[in-house]
Amino acid sequence: MTKITTKLMTAALLTFILFAFGGANAQTAPAKKQSASPKTPATHTSSAAASPQSTQKKAALPTMEEVEASMKRSFGYDPGVSWQIYDIRESSIPGLAEILVSMNKQPPVHLYLAPGTQTAIAGQLIPFGPDPFAAARANLKGAFGPSRGGQNPPIEIIEFSDLECPHCKVAQPVLAKLFADFPQVRFIFQQYPLPASLHPWALKAAQYADCAGQLDKDAFWKYVDSIFENQGGIALATADDKLKELATAAGYDAQKISACAASPETDARIKKSQALGATLDVNETPTVFMNGRRVSGIANIPYDNLKQLVQFEIDHAGK
């Protein structure tokens, strides 16, 4: 598809209002969340948007089959359009179902569906209020990745990153520059490898990098930079050899880091990091949080504006 066609298709998704679930949707019982990838929280999905209180009416969730049929009815005319339904769940707005769907492997769009209707709202809920990022800051207290910066930081900047992600590679020097300009701030790196269907060797790289952080937190940043720099030369079939080679260059024992990468403990830490991202509805990489404020597409923001944002959050630390 051309860029123009893709833009038109995306615009259609953001504005379409006929969502053909039919009258049967109103009878769909409140059920467990359904997901296209229930075992991989890094598939741009998450199970942790704020849940409606138990006293509030729960949304009647459409089935995966109903959502799939609706997508086919709306977009099936164009063989160049593909989609993946990542999640179907209750939204944080009482009575509305929330659907996450990606078009042509782009970041997922949130659809909010009222039961018994054929109308959906496409958009993104945003934190709002006198302390809009308090909930995210509370969740981010669970961040445990390698860190650098001040011992008593006014704020934390936490990045959820995928080492095979080209956007993460572009973002890395931007974050390094922010670290140089704001040494009093703590920067934390959380592993968030996307599924193998998108990034085949991302999980393996995350395992090696996690071990690098366990073995030598100072050398970790050099190792991560080297993986990003060599993205184009890494493939799934040769990933182990290349990751060990880069580890040796960063000062690690290649055999020790390889054994660590294959351990159950490392696998558990990766899953824990993915679960943390899920509680924050991380659905793209890189996703950065500054004092709890979500910042997406950080490499596309003018650097002076980023500096203003960091200083603004320092000035509003903890609120």
How far is the C-alpha of 201 from the C-alpha of 254, rounded, in Å?
A: 18
How far is the C-alpha of 82 from the C-alpha of 76, rounded, in Å?
A: 9
pTM: 0.74
Q: Which residues pair with 113 in a beta bridge?
A: 97, 120
Beta strands in 164-225, from DSSP E residues, in sequence order: 186-191
Q: Which residues pair with 123 in a beta bridge?
A: 110
Q: What is the pLDDT of residue 59?
A: 63
**120-123 and 287-290 beta bridge pairing:** unpaired
Which backbone phi and psi does 232 adopt, to 5 degrees? -65, -20
Q: Which two tokens stand for residue 48?
A: 């942790």
* pLDDT by residue, tens only, the chain of 319 residues: 434 444 444 444 443 333 333 333 333 322 333 333 333 333 333 333 333 344 455 668 999 999 999 999 999 999 999 999 989 999 888 889 999 999 998 878 899 998 888 888 898 888 989 999 999 999 999 999 999 998 899 999 999 999 999 999 999 999 999 999 999 999 999 999 999 989 999 999 999 999 999 999 999 999 999 999 999 999 999 999 999 999 999 999 999 999 999 999 999 999 999 999 999 989 889 999 999 999 988 999 999 999 999 999 999 998 8
Q: What is the pLDDT of residue 94?
A: 86
How far is the C-alpha of 181 from the C-alpha of 8, rounded, in Å?
A: 40
Chain centroid to CA 127: how far?
17
Interior CA angle at 57 toward 52 and 58, to 5°?
65
Domain ranges of the chain: 3-123, 134-315
Q: What is the pLDDT of residue 292?
A: 97
Q: What is the pLDDT of residue 164?
A: 98
CATH hierarchy code of domain 134-315: 3.40.30.10
Q: Report in angstroms the alpha-carbon separations of 116 from 28, 61, 87, 303.
A: 9, 10, 19, 46
Q: What is the pLDDT of residue 107?
A: 79
Give every strand in the sheet of 83-90, ordered side by side: 83-90, 97-103, 109-113, 120-123
DSSP label of 301: S
How far is the C-alpha of 111 from the C-alpha of 194, rounded, in Å?
A: 22
DSSP label of 108: P
Q: What is the pLDDT of residue 5?
A: 40
Q: What is the pLDDT of residue 290?
A: 98
Name the amino acid, one letter, at 163.
L
Q: What is the pLDDT of residue 307?
A: 97
- DSSP SS3 for 22: coil
- Given a contact cutoff of 8 angstroms between Cβ atoms, the answer to whether 115 and 88 are in contact is no
Using CA atoms of 178, 277, 125, 67 in order, give the dihedral in degrees to the nearest 10. Answer: 140
